[in-house]
A and B are shown apart, each in its own frame.
Chain A
Amino acid sequence: GAGVSQSPSNKVTEKGKDVELRCDPISGHTALYWYRQSLGQGLEFLIYFQGNSAPDKSGLPSDRFSAERTGGSVSTLTIQRTQQEDSAVYLCASSLAPSGWYTEAFFGQGTRLTVV
């Protein structure tokens, strides 16, 4: 598609369940990013992919969070044993190879996760 696509757009889950969030980046974009936007907060960096590898996972809040990317395209963010504090909007962004300082990141519309 023309833009970054995320699914589902909304997800309500029970505490303790696992969830998977999906991101389809813009075709040809090798860099992919996950951010989290909690209510009233800024964007919190979670993880960055270059191709299928993740050079920086430093933002993942705990070992319940993991992410993978396959084929240099689709990425899945998995949250295991969800907690109420995981409720947030999870944003995915992609950009061309990040080697330049000028590269703009394009964002998807996000997945709103609510843990009840």
Chain B
Amino acid sequence: GNSVTQMEGPVTLSEEAFLTINCTYTATGYPSLFWYVQYPGEGLQLLLKATKADDKGSNKGFEATYRKETTSFHLEKGSVQVSDSAVYFCALRGGFKTIFGAGTRLFVKA
């Protein structure tokens, strides 16, 4: 079946550091891929998405590229801010069901 594996956290970075959160997936067919973010005390919200191979999703300085050859969708940001502290979930959608990874907690220190 479909599955998503993402790097374990927590990840602790200093402000303006480079961020990578790894995500790999297993799926049949051609799923859509997503990153969701959950800020403290808030609900999940979509951060970015990519619907086919080689697509790059981007939002708020975050980027992720749909790599079919490596079945990956790593999240990157060139310079993190304290306000980026949150839990990040990689997700895959094949059909109606969205499958989520376990989440990676990011702490950004001033």
Contacts and interface: CB of A to CB of B under 8 A. Distances in A.
Nearest to A31: B96
B93 A42 contact: no
Contact of A109 (B31, B42, B101): B42
Contacts of A91: 43-44
Contacts, number: 56
Interface string B17-54: 00000000000001110101000001111100101000
A93 B93 CA distance: 14
A26 B41 CA distance: 21
B98 A41 contact: no
B51 A102 contact: yes
Nearest to A102: B51
A56 interface: yes
Contacts of A48: 96-97
Contact of A42 (B31, B45, B95, B103): B103
Contact of A101 (B32, B45, B99, B103): B32
Nearest to B98: A105
A51 interface: no
Q: Is the interface of B mostly helix, strand, loop or mixed?
A: strand
A107 B103 CA distance: 16
A56 B97 contact: yes
Contacts of B36: 107
A31 B96 CA distance: 8
B43 A102 contact: no
Contact of A107 (B44, B49, B101): B44
B66 interface: no
Interface of A: 4, 31, 33, 35, 41-43, 45, 48, 50, 55-56, 91, 93, 98, 101-110
6 contacts: A42-B100, A43-B89, A43-B100, A56-B96, A107-B36, A109-B43
